[in-house]
Amino acid sequence: MRTKLIFGNWKMNKLTSEAREFALQSVEFKKYADEHGVQIGVAPTFTSLSVVKEVNPSLTVAAQNCHFEEKGAFTGEISIPMLLDLHIDWVIIGHSERRTYFGETNETCNKKIKALFAHDMTPIYCCGETLEQFENGLTKEVIKEQINVGLADLYKEHVKNMVIAYEPIWSIGTGKNASKEIAQDICSYIRDLVKEMYGDASETVRILYGGSVKPENVRAYLSEKDVDGALVGGASLKVDSFKQLIENIVD
């Protein structure tokens, strides 16, 4: 049985004061989520990681990126030991915005995932196709490459506890969400790819759908067999909307 996971990706939003306020209010709905067997987490900007973790240590808190080297001449980057120093042990890897605007590749994602596993941390590895690739029927080809390269040469013991997020780029922040059938089809395809690479780790790896997930549609996605949760941008920013995401998926 895979625990449902609702993860908020705050992107480049929220001042530390706003992040603190959210974290304060999250104490209550985190308890509600626990009571209903739902894991919840947020990925604030680097500047707000410690305040969120300090105010609500029980919340799963992820960084939105990291570097694969431990230290050195990489101006502007944040290393894994620096995150661990703040008690942050989850990181989003390969979000499409990082791939599109900051040159992230499947190969650099793989290096980062290996570095995270070397420190017993949990990656949320994002994959997904562009609108053009979707329209040309290339989705599975693109996903296969992202999974095969991004998850190459790992230990099965690590893979079984990681999280993968399928986020079609054409659905991110556009309000044009993929149908639940598409989400299921691709999440199940990802599970099959993980099975080919790491056997029964595919049974416990959690696969999320992301892209215009809102309180109104979250339940439909999570009712699908291979969709274990959601990675949510816009609808995770406000406390009320985050709370509704949880309320709408519990029975």
Task: Give min distance, CB of 167 to ligand PGA, in A.
Answer: 6
Q: What is the Cβ-side half-sphere exposure of residue 23, based on CA atoms within 13 angstroms?
A: 24
- Closest-CB residue for ligand PGA? 233
Q: Which of 87, 86, 90, 79 is nearest to 40 (CA)?
A: 90
95 is catalytic: yes
**Residue 9 sits in the site that holds ligand PGA (CB under 6 A):** yes
Contact region for ligand PGA (CB under 6 A) — 16-24, 136-144, 147-155, 166-174? Answer: 166-174
Residues contacting ligand PGA: total by CB under 6 A: 13
**Residue 167 sits in the site that holds ligand PGA (CB under 6 A):** yes
Instruction: Extract the runs of DSSP E, i.e. beta strands, from 122-234.
Output: 122-127, 163-166, 206-210, 229-232
Q: Which of residues 170-199 bind ligand PGA (CB under 6 A)?
A: 172-173
Q: What is the Cβ-side half-sphere exposure of residue 236, based on CA atoms within 13 angstroms?
A: 27
**Annotated catalytic residue, options 67, 95, 97, 158:** 95
Largest CA distance in the chain: 51
Q: Which of residues 213-232 bind ligand PGA (CB under 6 A)?
A: 213, 231-232
Tell me the two tokens of residue 192: 């099959």
> How many residues would you count in the chain?
251
* Interface residue list for ligand PGA (CB under 6 A): 9, 167, 172-173, 210-213, 231-235
